[in-house]
Amino acid sequence: MKWNKRYAALLVCAALFIGIGLWVAKPAVKDQPPWLSFSADTDGLKGWRELVESGQSRTGEWKLRWERLPAGSNQLLVVAEPLGVGPEEWTALKSWVRAGNHLILLDRNPDSFFGFETAETEGPDAAAADGEDKSGNSGSDESAPVPVEAPLLSGRSGLTALALSPVRIKPGKGDEVLVSDKQGVLASRMKVGSGSAALVLEPEWLQNGEALKASHLDLMWPLFAEERTSVLFDETHHGYGVKPGLFAIYPVWLLLVSIQLAAALALWLWLKGKRFGPVHVPREWTVRRGDETVRALAAWYHRSGLMEEALEHGRQRLRQLLAQRWGLGPDTSPAQAAAAARSRWSAEDARRLEQALQPLPLPSGRGKAARQEFMRRSRDNAELTAMLESGRQPGRGDRQ
């Protein structure tokens, strides 16, 4: 019983600890700005974007200036209540649409940069303005949908939609009326070069909280039903724009060619580059000098036909060091130098010193035998020179 009570108390304490922690540390829901295609708030467009993604293969966000819109045709750009758009961007957007692309502009008070003309109305539609029932009381704080007509939905009756914009579109010659109410045109589409531009005065029709109300879905879906190369939702003018990177100014083909050339250059350098030795250099390389150095010098003297001269330089260097280290004069014979070396070095090293000081000729010619003999003598000279320079005894033989 005591153990059961103890376990029960622990479980209660753990539950209280977790519950209080979740209640205290519960993150607040971030209130995002309206009109964002990735916002799930009631004033966002995420629901409509997901609906478009189900029918279009390529759907995404556009976060650069309109001067950098992708080249091509049959692309769709959706712009909802843009802020801070300059005349140069409107001009670039119009050129992009003229090249065979399409635009859906959702703006309650649009500027006239793109070519749409609007006129103010006297007030909201009567059905939305009164909002009163027969008893004279106000029916709701929200504006009520009003009857609308949609030529694209011919044969459909009883269509309704919110009509909150204080202006109406003045269609130009050849423009297509998409949605209208008693006070005028709420949505219109014009031909621009090889593309088209549609203006919708009620962006709320696409919001998460309004898309399924009234007839908003039926009215807007025909604008998105056609197959497009890509559908882009503009986020640049909602405060989510980004600046292009350093390589954005270069065409893609030039970047690909540069990357391939850089890879080819790296491979060529890797194949032709110098082989650097290990990080740890063996002791015999630092004391006696490496065989690789001797081989390189020997090959150079062999190609130049200067093997005898190279050996003579080695003998002169040995005699110079014998004079400095042991006090032997320049006229000292090889046998005398070997006798002096036996008291300091091993017998094998003394014998090698005697042979190195003797001016013996190399085998005749410049064949393999001459080269091998030259390399052997050069290696001995290098080792003996290193022994005299360092004053140490790293020779081959064991000191007797």
Q: pLDDT tens, 10-43? A: 788 888 878 777 676 666 667 788 999 999 999 9
Q: List C-alpha distances in Å: 373 to 81, 107, 297, 369.
A: 90, 94, 14, 6
Q: What pLDDT, on a 0 to 100 scale, did the predictor assign at position 293?
A: 67
CA–CA distance, 233 with 212 (Å, rounded to integer)? 20
**C-alpha pair distances (Å), 77 with each of 161, 277, 391:** 23, 59, 84
pLDDT tens-digit profile of 295-330? 676 676 666 667 778 888 888 888 898 888 888 888
Tokens linked to 64: 């650069």
3-class SS string, the chain:
CHHHHHHHHHHHHHHHHHHHHHHHCCCCCCCCCCCCCCCCCCCCCHHHHHHHHHHCCCEEEECCCHHHCCCCCCEEEEEECCCCCCHHHHHHHHHHHHCCCEEEEECCCCCCCCCCEEEECCCCCHHHHHCECCCCCECCCCCCCEECECHHHCCCCCCEECCCCCEEEECCCCCEEEEEECCEEEEEEEEECCEEEEEECCHHHHCCCCCCCCCHHHHHHHHHCCCCCEEEEECHHHCCCCCCCHHHHCCHHHHHHHHHHHHHHHHHHHHHCCCCCCCCCCHHHHHHCCHHHHHHHHHHHHHHCCHHHHHHHHHHHHHHHHHHHHCCCCCCCHHHHHHHHHCCCCHHHHHHHHHHHCCCCCCCCCCHHHHHHHHHHHHHHHHHHHHHHHCCCCCCCCCC
Q: How many CA atoms lie within 13 A of 12 on its CB side?
A: 6
Query: Regarding beta strands 195-200 and 59-62, do their DSSP bridges make them parallel or antiparallel, or are they unpaired?
Result: unpaired
pLDDT at 45: 96
Per-residue model confidence (pLDDT) at position 196: 96
Number of Cβ within 10 Å of residue 385's Cβ equals 18
Cα separation of 8 and 2, whole Å? 10
167: left (phi over 0), alpha (psi -120 to 50) or beta: beta
Domain boundaries, the chain: 46-125+141-240, 283-390
Q: Are 288 and 383 in contact (CB under 8 A)?
A: yes
**Amino acid identity, residue 59?**
T
How many Å is the maximal CA-CA distance in the chain? Answer: 138
CA-wise closest residue to 291 among 186, 380, 175, 165:
380
Which residue type does 314 have?
A: G
210 Ramachandran zone, left/alpha/beta (phi>0; psi -120 to 50): alpha
Structure tokens at 156: 């459909």
Please identify every stretch of the chain with a pLDDT value under 70, giving residue numbers as ranges. Answer: 1-3, 22, 24-29, 123-142, 244-249, 273-295, 297-298, 300-305, 365-366, 392-400
Output the pLDDT for position 398: 42
What are the structure tokens assigned to 128, written together? 């939305």
pTM, whole model, 2 decimals? Answer: 0.55
**Residue 286: what pLDDT?**
54
Buried b (16+ CB within 10 A) or exposed e, 318-327: bbebbeeeee
In the structure encoding, which two tokens stand for residue 274, read together?
């110098």
- Determine the pLDDT at residue 280: 61
Residue 132 is predicted with a pLDDT of 40
Q: What is the pLDDT of residue 368?
A: 77
**CATH class of the region 46-125+141-240:** alpha beta
Query: What's the pLDDT at 381?
Result: 87
What is the token pair recorded at 133?
């029932």
